[in-house]
Structure 1
Amino acid sequence: MRTSKYIILGCLLAVGMTSCKKWLDVNTDPSSPNNASAAIQNRLPWIEHFYQYTSGVSNYRAAAQAGVFYSTNGTSGVQLSTTWTSHTGNTTSYQTWFVEVASNLNDLYNTAQKQNAYHYMAAADVFHALGFMQMLDLYGEMPYTQAISQNPSPAYDDGKTIYNGCMAKLNEAISLFNKPQDASVPSLASGDLWNAGSVDKWIKLCWGLKARYMLKLSKKSDLYNADSILYCLSKGPQSITDNTVGPGFNNSTVTDYLIGDPVVTNGNFDYAAYGSTQRLSKYYCDMLTNMRGSGVIDPRMTKIVPASMANVKLDAGGRVASYTWQRAIGVDVFGAAARLLKGGATSITSVTYATKNTPIAYKITNTTDRTNFINDQTTYGRTFTVSNDTVTVTYKAGSYYINSTNYILAGDTAYVNLRSSAIATSGIPAQGPSDVSWYQSAAAFNAGVVASTGSFQVRPVSDQEILTYHEMCFIKAEVYMRKGDAANAYAAYTAGIQAHMDMMQAKLTSWQAAGYTATNPDMAPMKASDISAYMTSAAVSQGDITMSDIMLQKYLAMGCSIENWNDMRRFNFSAGNIGSFGVVYPGINRGPLFAGTAAYTGTTLADPRYWPRRWSLPTTIELRYNLNNATALNAHVSDQNIWSMPVWWDCATDAEYSGYLK
């Protein structure tokens, strides 16, 4: 593993000259910097940004494993979301962490230490903990104690060593943040993109991360400590104003030197909504329309589930005169999965815009399928003709349709993808920064026909949630539930739901003020009355709370987050064998398109190796250049079923963990 220690410095200069945010306008060195001379207040915002990038890909791919997303991406997405097959598309999280973030941490810390800039030293510690804990979550074992050194072939450390090291860094960070800095030292505010220099918010972030990480130990009876977690929570975020988020912007066309994606946008957007291959799953969407089997529509649904324009009529000038919104349906992966079984795991197809009336002839030899297809065209009011077993449908100008003669694909317009537009990605210069809806083509934009309104968490201008009050509430609810204190668990559960609503409402209100709702109604605030009605509805437990109630609301709120996969591993997915909590994630299982028997060798729900437990190490980096060190610790790193091997915190004992490594 060779860390490119100085590569980010070129980005500091190149992007600083281009200017895409106030940090990039003013925080440039007066002379060419090197690793020792780069100003700490210049380095920190870029570390924050690039951490969002590595976190974004981890969040997206882990959420796909946890059933939030469906993807047709053949590099990794479909394997994670649908077929559960092993693959080699697992390098980006590792690469962006080590090349763009970790390689800068020692230099930030050491330079800050020479200046007694304690708050920058503390920030370096926080990113150390954030990134290496994420590497543990994903890969299990990793070069750690020798990782950011001059050693080109660093030794591997086990999960326990990484975990304890990260916790020690957070403890030091808390101590350093509590030290006053001299006025002559660069203030934290001069280089902090996340919290605008609020030391109080950074300290609460540290305590909140400690609570999150201590919760990972819930399987370990000798290490899990409920009261310690509650103590950390008492010092962590206490309201949504304490949230730590990475802001997303849409005001620059500058792209990343390593990957080529926009540098100012939300890191989750860069993976979940940059292209047209990602959609929400039916499993996730059902929670917004039928939580607890209630049939209640969640007020967050229209803010999270994207929509496209349908039934469009154009005026004489070719602009939209009338339309309806078609809300996306989720892709069924875990259930009957009828659509995917007919067409294949990657067959969901993206739309094309009809610039003129466009006839497509479908040859349908199956009588039942042909009858159903004709009925669908009648329902949607489309013009069609039938000749023997051929149905010809005319898609009117202004319509979105699937440009294929395969009738199985024709209904895929219902699976509205998550795509949003940034000025760096849309290819439509006239679209401008205040319209982040996706238009399939310049012609569609000129007509005003929206292909996707996008989704709350993954727009380019969305905040990337690093640590939030609603997560803290749900952690508190789980901890109290484990203690047998249902009353306090219930109070924390409802507080978590309300906190997520409040966070969304605050962001939606700011989007409305910024003018985004002129073209995208899904970016407008929810009705307060709808929120109140939901909180008293059957979708929310009104007192008889279960662990599943808590974790499903947390799952819904966290969405595009690695923490959903972490939680599922702690509860063994739908095995129902953790304590007396029963099945916590009902419906999560291998779907009909499962093809991963080589990677997931367990044969029953209770077998740990039935489930996705980690990722394989990057083949092109660690398994090619550092294999000897990797196998010295874990003899099975190259085995295909490494994907189902539990990481350290996912084991009840050190002996269990060691048994997997031998």
Structure 2
Amino acid sequence: MKNSKYILLALLVVLGATSCKKFLDVNNDPNNPNNESVLVENRLPWIEHFYQYTSGVSNFRSSCIAGVYYSNSAAGNALSTTWTTHTGNTTPYQTWFVEVASNLNDLYKTAQKNGAYHYMATANVFHALGFMQMLDIYGEMPYTQAISGIASPAFDDGKAIYKGCMAKLDEAIALFGKTQEATAVPLSKGDLWNNGDLNKWIKLCYGLKARYMLKLSKKSDLYNGDSVLYYVARGPQSNAENTIGPGYNNSTVTDYLLGDPVVTNGNFDYAAYGSNQRISQYHYNLLTNMRGSGVTDPRMTKIVPAAMSNIQLDGSGKVISYTWNRSAGVDMHGAATRLLKGGAASIVAPSYATANTNITYAISDATDRANFIAAQTTAGRPFTTSGNNVTVTYRAGSIYINSTNYLYAGDTVYVNLRSSSIATSGIPAQGQTDVSWYPSVPAFTAGAVASTGSFQIRPVSDQEILTYHEMCFIKAEAYMRKGDAGSAHTAYKAGIQAHLDMMQAKLTQWQGSGYTATNPDMAPMSGTAITAYMASNAVVQTAGALTMADIMLQKYVAMGCSIENWNDMRRFNFSAGNIGGFGVVYPGFDRTPLFAGTALYTGGSKADPRYWPRRFMLPTTLELNYNLANVLALNANATAPNIWSMPVWWDCATDDEYYGYLKK
């Protein structure tokens, strides 16, 4: 691991003048900065921001594994579709250590010197957030020596990392409870997340302890449902107590490390910056057919993007009429017919027709040709045929696929999740309150929207650090494990309602800020639809009918772009159905028909832990090149291809099982 301790210090100087909050400013001597002179109130907001950044990539890539998203990018597709993995795996690791962890000791020490106990506490919170995230992803890593300045730090096992993170939260709770020295700067001066609200920070700590204790659900000697409930009761008790990281669209400044926008939601920077990601069929089905009810969730049109279709232009080339094409889900976990025909990463992004555009498709298969012609007839597009060739005219204003491969022509049904920010759109005239995606400047000029984006991953979306709805679902699971179905049912329904309410509040805020002028998916849901959904068969109405699958699938929808879905799926062994008598918790989730990871996932059946994706291999360009001796000293199998299916510490029922995996 390379020692990049002071990179963020330089960034403070570069970005201070253009940041999204007035207190995101440079230190007291911008011409001669040094590590001692960076004020805690200037360091903390950048740590908060860059944690959102490292969390964003972790959330996105784990959501590909968990089947939330399909991706045709190299890394994303290897995790979502082929399960062949991406050998680099550098970004979560690099962004954490370079942009966040390298600053925590300095924040803590400077705050300690000034009696700023609340800033010391925040350093501990980020320590727990980030190192637990690294444990979730990589298993073993430098921990005790990780940010000590040692060039080749020793590795720690998952148990040591877990215990260390929990201890940091305990210390943070104590520090938040102390009165700062009179000369110490108030936390409100440097806090982007909670505006200095100590109550919310303390509830964040307790909520994280509940989340982390739930990870131990496989461990009969360590899991304690009463303890989980104790910490849930001290975590957020309403949406007003959520901890969120704000996202903005008011700056064109980009990150020094990877060049992504600085002020936007971290999930956007990975899941919706480019045109590679789409909603999976698995996710889509939960939003349209939860529990086989056939009921459409009112959240569906806010999560599943839409694009304009059947566009008509006026004489000046402006859109005057259209219909909305709501995206289909990409079926990579089911039959995967489209992907099997075209290739795992073959779904194509659309273009905009500035004039009538003819494309000729050579279709030798008679059945495919007949089906293709029928599709053009249904769509009302002009076409001609000549032998095996079909020439289709895409009228001016069409959003279409610019390829002669007929297999791709229908890919407009898969609307990508892309949103735009002023730092990324490439369209100078696109304002701050228009975050829809347009495939070109002419499309924007015409007003032809190619994607409305998705609720959680727009540049102006809140990044959910810890929420009341997560606490409700944790509570429901803990009660279900205790056999108290009545209390579990109450918490389950509260979790669904809390997520609906949280979304509705944000949608209402967006409407008031003018975003809905160009994007109806950013408008509030129908109150009547929400009430009807809560009373429908999509939601379990009696405690006696509630199953663990009901709880976890609603949690899956609510958490969305979050590493916690992958964490939960590992705890229940995905769809193996062999945990605690709860049956299959994630029905229909399995290896995809395009699975090609036989060397990585060596388990022969669903019940075998090594059938499933359990962790990432360590970054080759960092630890495996620069610190291999320490890597192998702890985990002799760290470089083996099937490291990807090796459970991390909390994913093992016993320590013997875990340490057995680390030996040759």
Band the TM-score falls in, shorter-chain normalisation: over 0.9
* Inter-partner Cα distance in structure 2 for 1:283 and 1:29: 53
Q: State whether residues 114 and 183 of structure 2, in contact with CA within 8 Å, keep that contact through their aligned partners in structure 1.
A: no
Q: State whether residues 114 and 181 of structure 2, in contact with CA within 8 Å, keep that contact through their aligned partners in structure 1.
A: no
Q: State whether residues 256 and 262 of structure 1, in contact with CA within 8 Å, keep that contact through their aligned partners in structure 2.
A: yes
* Inter-partner Cα distance in structure 2 for 1:355 and 1:96: 40
Aligned to 2:11: 11
Aligned to 1:573: 574
Instruction: Please give the residue correspondences for 1:472-621 in structure 2 after superposition, counting only pairs within 5 Å.
Output: 472-543=471-542, 544-621=545-622
Aligned to 2:341: 342
TM-score (norm 1): 0.99
Aligned to 1:654: 655
Aligned to 1:35: 35
* Inter-partner Cα distance in structure 1 for 2:522 and 2:61: 25
Aligned to 1:317: 316
Aligned to 2:204: 205
Deviations 1:312-340 (A, max 9, x none): 00001100010000000010001000000
Secondary structure at the aligned position of 1:588 is classed as coil
Deviations 1:48-98 (A, max 9, x none): 000000000000000100000111101x11110000013213100000000
In structure 2, what residue type is equivalent to 1:41? Answer: E
Q: State whether residues 358 and 397 of structure 1, in contact with CA within 8 Å, keep that contact through their aligned partners in structure 2.
A: yes
Structure 1 residue 516 displacement after superposition: 0.1
Fraction of identical pairs, as percent? 74
Structure 1 residue 23 displacement after superposition: 2.9
* Inter-partner Cα distance in structure 2 for 1:86 and 1:311: 39
Deviations 1:352-388 (A, max 9, x none): 1000000111111111111111111111111111222
Aligned to 1:219: 218
Structure 1 residue 31 displacement after superposition: 5.3
Secondary structure at the aligned position of 1:286 is classed as helix
Deviations 1:402-440 (A, max 9, x none): 111100000000100000000000000100101000000
Deviations 1:199-240 (A, max 9, x none): 000000000000000000000000000001100011100000
Q: State whether residues 29 and 39 of structure 1, in contact with CA within 8 Å, keep that contact through their aligned partners in structure 2.
A: no
Instruction: Please give the residue correspondences for 1:253-292 in structure 2 after superposition, counting only pairs within 5 Å.
Output: 253-292=252-291
Deviations 1:497-519 (A, max 9, x none): 00000000000000000000000
Q: State whether residues 359 and 392 of structure 2, in contact with CA within 8 Å, keep that contact through their aligned partners in structure 1.
A: yes
Aligned to 1:66: 66
* Inter-partner Cα distance in structure 1 for 2:192 and 2:90: 27
Q: State whether residues 307 and 450 of structure 2, in contact with CA within 8 Å, keep that contact through their aligned partners in structure 1.
A: yes
Aligned to 1:437: 436
In structure 2, what residue type is equivalent to 1:280? Answer: I
Structure 1 residue 27 displacement after superposition: 6.9
Q: State whether residues 86 and 640 of structure 1, in contact with CA within 8 Å, keep that contact through their aligned partners in structure 2.
A: no
Q: State whether residues 17 and 26 of structure 2, in contact with CA within 8 Å, keep that contact through their aligned partners in structure 1.
A: no
Instruction: Please give the residue correspondences for 1:118-517 in structure 2 after superposition, counting only pairs within 5 Å.
Output: 118-517=117-516
- RMSD between superposed Cα atoms in Å: 0.9
Structure 1 residue 30 displacement after superposition: 5.4
* Inter-partner Cα distance in structure 2 for 1:82 and 1:88: 15
TM-score (norm 2): 0.99
Instruction: Please give the residue correspondences for 1:87-106 in structure 2 after superposition, counting only pairs within 5 Å.
Output: 87-106=86-105
Establish whether residue 23 from structure 1 lines up as the match of residue 23 from structure 2. yes
Structure 1 residue 108 displacement after superposition: 0.2
Secondary structure at the aligned position of 2:620 is classed as coil
Instruction: Please give the residue correspondences for 1:108-123 in structure 2 after superposition, counting only pairs within 5 Å.
Output: 108-123=107-122
Structure 1 residue 257 displacement after superposition: 0.4
In structure 2, what residue type is equivalent to 1:118? Answer: Y
Q: What stretches of structure 1 of length at least 5 have no aligned partner? A: none
* Inter-partner Cα distance in structure 2 for 1:397 and 1:499: 44
* Inter-partner Cα distance in structure 2 for 1:276 and 1:596: 25
* Inter-partner Cα distance in structure 2 for 1:632 and 1:268: 35
Deviations 1:425-461 (A, max 9, x none): 0000100101000000000000000000000000000
Structure 1 residue 623 displacement after superposition: 0.1
* Inter-partner Cα distance in structure 2 for 1:204 and 1:241: 11
Aligned to 1:52: 52
In structure 2, what residue type is equivalent to 1:8? Answer: L
Secondary structure at the aligned position of 2:512 is classed as helix
* Inter-partner Cα distance in structure 2 for 1:147 and 1:292: 46
Q: State whether residues 438 and 454 of structure 1, in contact with CA within 8 Å, keep that contact through their aligned partners in structure 2.
A: yes
Q: State whether residues 56 and 271 of structure 1, in contact with CA within 8 Å, keep that contact through their aligned partners in structure 2.
A: yes
Establish whether residue 631 from structure 1 lines up as the match of residue 632 from structure 2. yes
Structure 1 residue 24 displacement after superposition: 2.7
In structure 1, what residue type is equivalent to 2:48? Answer: E
Deviations 1:292-330 (A, max 9, x none): 000101000000000000000000110001000000001
Establish whether residue 641 from structure 1 lines up as the match of residue 642 from structure 2. yes
Q: State whether residues 473 and 551 of structure 2, in contact with CA within 8 Å, keep that contact through their aligned partners in structure 1.
A: yes
Deviations 1:461-517 (A, max 9, x none): 000000000000000000000000000000000000000000000000000000000
Aligned to 1:107: 106
Structure 1 residue 182 displacement after superposition: 3.0
In structure 2, what residue type is equivalent to 1:391? Answer: V
Q: What stretches of structure 2 of length at least 5 have no aligned partner? A: none
* Inter-partner Cα distance in structure 2 for 1:29 and 1:230: 48
* Inter-partner Cα distance in structure 1 for 2:232 and 2:656: 30
Structure 1 residue 28 displacement after superposition: 6.2
* Inter-partner Cα distance in structure 1 for 2:422 and 2:387: 48
* Inter-partner Cα distance in structure 2 for 1:617 and 1:475: 30
Q: 1:504 to 1:29 in 2, by over 3 A?
A: farther
* Inter-partner Cα distance in structure 2 for 1:237 and 1:358: 55
Secondary structure at the aligned position of 2:456 is classed as helix
Q: 1:25 to 1:151 in 2, by over 3 A?
A: closer
* Inter-partner Cα distance in structure 2 for 1:79 and 1:426: 27
Secondary structure at the aligned position of 1:575 is classed as coil
* Inter-partner Cα distance in structure 1 for 2:17 and 2:367: 62
Q: 1:535 to 1:413 in 2, by over 3 A?
A: same
In structure 1, what residue type is equivalent to 2:608? Answer: D
In structure 1, what residue type is equivalent to 2:568? Answer: D
